[in-house]
Each structure stands twice: as C-alpha cells, then as structure tokens.
Amino acid sequence: MKLLVTGGAGYVGSVTSRLLLDAGHEVVVLDNLRTGFRQAVAPGATFVEADIADAARVLTPDAGFDAVLHFAGLIAAGESMAKPELYWHENMVKSLALLDAVRAARVPRFIFSSTAAVYGNPVELPITESAIKAPTSTYGSTKLAFDLALTSETFAHGLAAVSLRYFNVAGAYISDGHEIGERHDPETHLIPITLQVAAGKREKLQLFGDDYPTTDGTCVRDYIHVEDLARAHLLALDATVAGEHRIYNLGNGNGFSNRQVVEAAREVTGAAIPVEIAPRRDGDPATLVASSARARDELGWTPRKNTLADMIGDAWTFYRKHVA
C-alpha cells in the first residue's frame, strides 16, 4: 500500500515507518520537525517537511494513498495543563484539518495514535476499552476528542479507522546497524530519565511517592516495547473495516513498579543510580495496567519483548550511541 505517516520523524512513527517499509509498503513521511528528528526518518521513505494542517498539499485526490497513520501531535500531559490552548490547536484543530484532507482525497483507511490517558484514574483493573473515559489532563482530553471525531467520520463517510491506545512505550529499534530511540526535550518519561542518571547526566533520580498501595509503595505502570507497538500498526492496517472505528488497548498486561524499573536499569547499565523519594504528584494513579485481550484476539497481536531487561537494554544501547 501507499501510506502517509504523520509524525514519522518521531519516536514511534519512525520505528513504525521502518517496519512498514520492511513489509513492502511505500511510505511518505510528513513531519514539521518541531519535536522529531530528520535523521530518524526511515531510509527508503519519502520525506515531506510540512505541518499536518497542510496535509492537503500531499493528500491530493490523484496521489493514490491507501491509508494514513497519524502519529503527529504533542504528548506532554503536564505541559498540556499549562498550555491547553496549544494542545487543543495542535492535537485537535490540526488533526481535523488532516481528516478533511483524508476525506477530500478519498483515502479509505486511517490509523490513529491514541493514548491510555483517555481513561484517567481507572475504576477497575486491568483497563479495557470499555472502561470509563475520564482524562485528567488536557492532553488526554484532546486525544479522546479526536477518537470521537473518528467515530463520527466512520459513521457518516464510511472511513475504516482504528485507534490504538498506548500505555507506557519504552525500548528502541535496534536492527542491521540502525537504532531509533526516545529523545524528548525536555524528557519526562521514567526510563530515559533513569538512563540519564546512569550516564552521569543527572545527579539522581526522583521517585514521586513511596506510600502507594502497591507491593513496594511506588506507582505501577504497564510498559510496552516500541517494536511491539509498531507491529500492532501493521496488523491494524489489515483489520480496518469500512464504516467501523475499532479501538484497541496496547500494553504488556503486566505492571512494573518504579522501583522495579530502577533495579532493572541498575542491572542493565551497571550504574548505581541514586534515588531520592519525592512527594506524590497530584493525579498520579497508583496502578495503570492494560487489558490487551481485544488486540490479541482480533489483531493476533502478542508482545514479544515484554521484559524490562528487553526494553531497558535496547534503550540503553540507543542512549549510549546517540544521546549520551
């Protein structure tokens, strides 16, 4: 198929682009490089430096695109609370412009990079796709709003759409001399920050709260390797059905505590990784773990790299070579 990948210079989008190319698809990457990296764009992909608001320049009716995979957007939940207008504009207004271009060009399939943030503080665990949606951040709200827009689009115009709701993405793509990993600025995710401490770029690691009702008192989160996540997008392309909006949670199904992440990082890196316990952050749930049963049953998707050693090991390989 001929595919447009928005945000294909970013972390998940660039890894997915490589797997799509390996599968024989033609890939066009659209990215404004605001948070992405030109060198992360998969060799073999056509690169267009542009904003998704201008996607109609690429998605013309005669361009022959078979699908759009939409990764572009802003992802920092904390920043979204301080700059809500920015997140609504970037994640919703511009995504609606992209959807207009998709409709005008008669592109039949659409895969959306959604998030577990749409669920907020869960009432039941593990979290299923039918769980209550009550996002606690503007970021989560913008993603949920576009999910709803996709549902309307499929009903009214026959689009075949799939939303993939990620939990915590980790690891790096390591294959044939190519490495793609996480390098956000500023960095807010636990594993990359832990590796910064291991590499001596930070003095210590802060863990926010050690009095949660978990096995060791620290928050528990569901981590998924970026390669496993990328594979799910290829499976989703084959699972699209005209007039339907299908939604799948993507997680490991096994939670890891913050202390377990630190211990695994110490084993992988051989570094001491000093830790300081800080007060809880407002809005942090004790445990977030996904049920990915629907993705397993309907997509045939199963995580292959599902241990912390797998994820942190690949992330450390990337970090030492490209970031540190």
Q: Which of 250, 268, 292 is the last residue in one of the domains? A: 250
The predicted structure's pLDDT at residue 281? 80
Residues whose CB falls within 8 Å of the CB of residue 205, separated by 6 or more in sequence, listed in order? 193, 194, 197, 262, 273, 274, 275, 276
Q: Which helix (H) or strand (E) holds 198?
A: helix 190-198
Same domain, 307 and 162: no
Question: pLDDT by residue for the chain (324 residues), tens digit each?
Answer: 999 999 999 999 999 999 999 999 999 999 999 999 999 999 999 999 999 999 999 999 999 999 999 999 999 888 999 999 999 999 999 999 999 999 999 999 999 999 999 999 888 999 999 999 999 899 999 999 999 999 999 999 999 999 999 999 999 999 877 888 988 777 788 999 999 999 999 999 999 999 999 999 999 999 999 999 999 999 999 999 999 999 999 999 889 999 999 999 999 999 999 999 999 987 788 899 999 999 999 999 999 999 999 999 999 999 998 887
Integer Cα distance of 324 and 310 in angstroms: 20
Specify the CATH number for the domain of residue 112.
3.40.50.720
173 catalytic? Reply is no
Specify the CATH number for the domain of residue 313.
3.90.25.10
pTM here is 0.95
The predicted structure's pLDDT at residue 178? 80
- What is the number of structural domains in the chain? 2
Same domain, 138 and 200: no
List helix spans (H) across the chain.
11-22, 77-82, 84-87, 94-105, 138-157, 190-198, 226-239, 258-269, 293-294, 308-318
The predicted structure's pLDDT at residue 99? 98
The predicted structure's pLDDT at residue 188? 81
Do the beta carbons of residue 295 and residue 232 sit within 8 Å? yes
Same domain, 146 and 288: no
Same domain, 82 and 207: no
Residue 313: give the domain boundaries.
Answer: 173-222+253-323
Same domain, 16 and 154: yes
Same domain, 43 and 93: yes
Amino acid at 185: D
Q: Which of 139, 166, 212, 223 is catalytic?
A: 139
Closest C-alpha among 272, 140, 177, 164 to residue 228: 164
The predicted structure's pLDDT at residue 179? 86
